[in-house]
Chain A
Amino acid sequence: MPIFVKDAYKCVGCLICMFACGRAHLATGLESSCIMVRSQGGISRGFSVFVCRGCEDPPCARACPEDALVIRKGGGVLLKENICTGCGSCVKACILDAIGWSNTKNKPIICIQCGECAKNCPYKVLEHKKT
């Protein structure tokens, strides 16, 4: 489990992690981010952060009909973009909403377990543990 939410109470909702995730996918903006930050029913109630847990037995990989998601050593999955048909089954399988979607490529955005989100978070909400 390389990245985990250490303390969601500290999340201020700045979305800096989402922008960092976009940059890690070599993009500027938010479409190429696979992190979801949302309020818990209004900002006064605080925020929830949804980031790939790097499951050992990932449901996204099991859901892929083309076997385009390969289990990564140390947690998470790797996307074989040339095999992926863009069916979106992986997105539905991840009930954390931790898989993004690129409309431009019509392909999922998969966490690469790089830890940029945790490194950029100004309040240490996320933590990156190398495995």
Chain B
Amino acid sequence: MIKEDTLKKVLYIDLSKKKFWAEERNDLFSQFIGGTGVAIKLLHENCDYDADPFSPNMPIVFAIGPLNGIFPIASKTVALFKSLHTGNLGESHAGGRSAIAIRMAGYGAIVIKGKSERPCYIAIHGDKVYFKDATILWGLKEGISVGAIIRKQEPGAGLRTIMRIGPAGEKMITYSSVTLETYRHFGRLGLGAVFGSKNLKGIIISGKRDLKVTDFKAYKELYLNLLKQLAESEKMKKYHELGTSANVMPLVFCKGIPIKNLTASELEEVENISGESLAEKHLGRRVACSHCPVACIHLATLRKPYEDEPYFYRTVYLSYDYELIYALGTMLGITSSEGVLSLIEVVEEMGVDAISMGVVLAWCTEAFEKGIINEKMTGGVIPQWGDVNTYSTLIKKIVFDEGEFYTDLRKGIDYVSSKYGGKEFALSYGKNVMPGYYSGYGAHIGYFFCARNSHLYNVGYAIDNEAMIKHFDEEQLAEKLLTEECWRQILSSLIICFFGRAIYTPEVVLNCLRLTGYELDEEKLYQIGKKIFAEKYRFKIKSGFDFEKLQLPQRIFELPSGIGPLNPDFAQKIINLLKEKIKSLL
């Protein structure tokens, strides 16, 4: 890395003692680049593997990489923590203004430990850090926006990031999220709950600085070339136009979108919640993360009348994408766009992960139908496919109701299905719930082995897509998943938004790295990727993760997926191969 680069600075914040200090960690940033690579090393250094995820000493690590603030679409921040939801590695990524704000404040990573005596928020403005009282903000429900209050109090307008939690984070719901810039989230695995456990309501970060490159002329040339590709390339078209919700109809067509907790493979009138329908009826504006020309964030308008007051309406803007249409739409049998948007609004108000909540509600509906849970437990609420109002009530009850069943639901479906039954249809992989791709072996086994139990690192669904026209044996499938996962460790160490992955080929990445002072070759890059992946598994294992306890949900062998019925023996062969391959990396 470039000698003068502030990326190597790690900001440590102790919430118990209200102290902060910075350390230069050239060692970490030169070996592991930045982002997820540096974050996993910092997590190892600062984490007591056996301690409860909510114990005060548990760290929250935020990290960015050398390309943030220098190249376009390098717009993401990674957060690592110990997740109460899975009991092991919690990893979540978010864009918004966060990555550029951290870079402009002059840091490569931020480590937050301790617990504040009272609710507080942290204000980081360049090299100054302030601990601000947030008792007034704690317990705020609908009506007043925490973001608006912090915005009014703090400087740095335009460039700052404002991260905050909602009621779900305060209540330490294991799938609560952290919201930033109103529409972006550290969504899955419960970072919101870790904030809540530290009495940390929010963080604002701002700064403004110039950065260095090794060769300005070459930099400018490469930058403009990348900007052009991001704007014009056919590979980026989907994100530019309809956004990821363009995937709804193609996945409906190939039976790859999960419907009603995988109890059905068809849903009447699903076209009402397609990307095309939402755009036509509701799309009000598109916005972008800092330093990204793509503007994939689609904001829908939802106009609702007041029932008790004639000619009184409110209009809200809500961000939607494919995963939300799946989790709060098809998964719940909802086919009205207003219905999906209404549930998105509740989920945003509560500060809870939309995918996890959708799958929890879907499990509840099926469990109710099967008599595993009953009206007595739900306090008279009867969940039914397609019933938007009841789902809206249920979400609020999960957050606020102190009854035993609702308190249990705050721990996720793995927990409730272990306690009450219904495990065979609890769509959870290593305790993290299923994303919206029901495409085949690649997807299911991908969720299973991804270091964060999601689809985001190995994109098994893309492999399934290829597998529709070409046969892969177990070895090829396992190898493809692992190779992609290792490469994405690099992308998320830089940190490039995965939507730009087709533009940021290894060759481009090496050129970008050269201009930021890293002399590497493709082989070395892959080695670093493998090393980062292995470090993550080391963390998981030390925190109690056990390969032998992993089990695929039984339901997926009952309903044919995108590539037809799945064979449990073939799936097991891939699993065995991957287990061995990962163990050999450790």
**A-to-B contact residues, CB < 8 Å:** 12-16, 19, 22-23, 26-32, 36-39, 41-44, 46, 102-104, 120, 122-123
CA distance A103 to B289 in the complex (A): 26
- Return the contact of B209 from the options A13, A29, A37, A42 (Cβ within 8 A): A29
CA distance A46 to B287 in the complex (A): 8
CA distance A30 to B220 in the complex (A): 15
- List CB contacts (< 8 Å) of B224-250 with chain A: 227, 231
**B-to-A contact residues, CB < 8 Å:** 69-70, 72, 100, 104, 145, 147-148, 151, 157-159, 181-183, 208-213, 216, 219-220, 223, 227, 231, 285-293, 295, 299, 316-317
Inter-chain contact A27/B210, CB cutoff 8 Å: yes
Contacts of B219 in A (CB 8 A): 28
Give the nearest-CB partner of B240 in chain A: A122
Minimum C-beta distance from A53 to chain B (A)? 18
Minimum C-beta distance from A48 to chain B (A)? 9
Minimum C-beta distance from A73 to chain B (A)? 27
From A15, A16, A120, name the one whose CB has the most chain B CB atoms within 10 angstroms: A15
Given known pairs A42-B145, A42-B151, A42-B182, the reply for A14 and B213 (CB within 8 Å) is no
Inter-chain contact B182/A44, CB cutoff 8 Å: yes
Give the nearest-CB partner of A121 in chain B: B293
Minimum C-beta distance from B102 to chain A (A)? 13
Inter-chain contact B292/A37, CB cutoff 8 Å: no
CA distance A46 to B289 in the complex (A): 13
Inter-chain contact B209/A31, CB cutoff 8 Å: yes
Inter-chain contact B227/A120, CB cutoff 8 Å: yes
Inter-chain contact A14/B223, CB cutoff 8 Å: no
Inter-chain contact B182/A12, CB cutoff 8 Å: no
Inter-chain contact A23/B223, CB cutoff 8 Å: yes
CA distance A113 to B182 in the complex (A): 34
Contacts of B145 in A (CB 8 A): 42
- Return the contact of A29 from the options B151, B157, B210, B290 (Cβ within 8 A): B210
Given known pairs A26-B216, A30-B104, the reply for A12 and B147 (CB within 8 Å) is no
Inter-chain contact B212/A28, CB cutoff 8 Å: yes
CA distance A68 to B151 in the complex (A): 35
CA distance A15 to B295 in the complex (A): 11
Contacts of A122 in B (CB 8 A): 227, 231, 293, 295
A14-B289, A28-B211 provided; 9 other pairs, C-beta below 8 A? A14-B295, A16-B293, A19-B291, A23-B223, A29-B211, A42-B147, A42-B148, A44-B285, A122-B295
28 contacts between A and B (CB under 8 A): A13-B287, A14-B288, A14-B289, A14-B290, A14-B292, A15-B159, A15-B290, A16-B227, A16-B293, A22-B210, A23-B223, A28-B213, A28-B216, A28-B219, A29-B104, A29-B210, A30-B159, A30-B210, A31-B209, A36-B158, A38-B157, A38-B158, A39-B158, A43-B182, A44-B183, A44-B285, A44-B299, A120-B227
- Return the contact of B69 from the options A29, A32, A44, A123 (Cβ within 8 A): A29
Minimum C-beta distance from B18 to chain A (A)? 27
Contacts of B299 in A (CB 8 A): 44
Given known pairs A38-B157, A38-B158, A43-B183, the reply for A12 and B287 (CB within 8 Å) is yes
CA distance A31 to B209 in the complex (A): 4
CA distance A8 to B542 in the complex (A): 52
Inter-chain contact B295/A32, CB cutoff 8 Å: no
Minimum C-beta distance from B131 to chain A (A)? 25
Inter-chain contact A104/B227, CB cutoff 8 Å: no
Contacts of B287 in A (CB 8 A): 12-13, 43
CA distance A43 to B151 in the complex (A): 11
- Return the contact of A37 from the options B158, B210, B227, B231 (Cβ within 8 A): B158
Inter-chain contact A43/B209, CB cutoff 8 Å: no
Contacts of B288 in A (CB 8 A): 12-14
CA distance A28 to B567 in the complex (A): 53
Inter-chain contact B183/A104, CB cutoff 8 Å: no
- Return the contact of B210 from the options A14, A16, A31, A120 (Cβ within 8 A): A31
Minimum C-beta distance from A10 to chain B (A)? 9
CA distance A70 to B220 in the complex (A): 29
CA distance A63 to B219 in the complex (A): 37
Minimum C-beta distance from B213 to chain A (A)? 5
Contacts of B295 in A (CB 8 A): 12, 14, 122-123
Inter-chain contact B212/A16, CB cutoff 8 Å: no
Minimum C-beta distance from A18 to chain B (A)? 8
Inter-chain contact B220/A23, CB cutoff 8 Å: yes
From A29, A38, A42, name the one whose CB has the most chain B CB atoms within 10 angstroms: A29
Minimum C-beta distance from A89 to chain B (A)? 20
Given known pairs A28-B212, A42-B151, the reply for A14 and B293 (CB within 8 Å) is yes
Given known pairs A14-B291, A38-B157, the reply for A46 and B285 (CB within 8 Å) is yes
Contacts of A37 in B (CB 8 A): 158
Contacts of A32 in B (CB 8 A): 210
Inter-chain contact A16/B72, CB cutoff 8 Å: yes
Nearest first, the 3 A-B pairs at minimum CB distance are A38-B158, A14-B288, A12-B295
Minimum C-beta distance from A131 to chain B (A)? 25
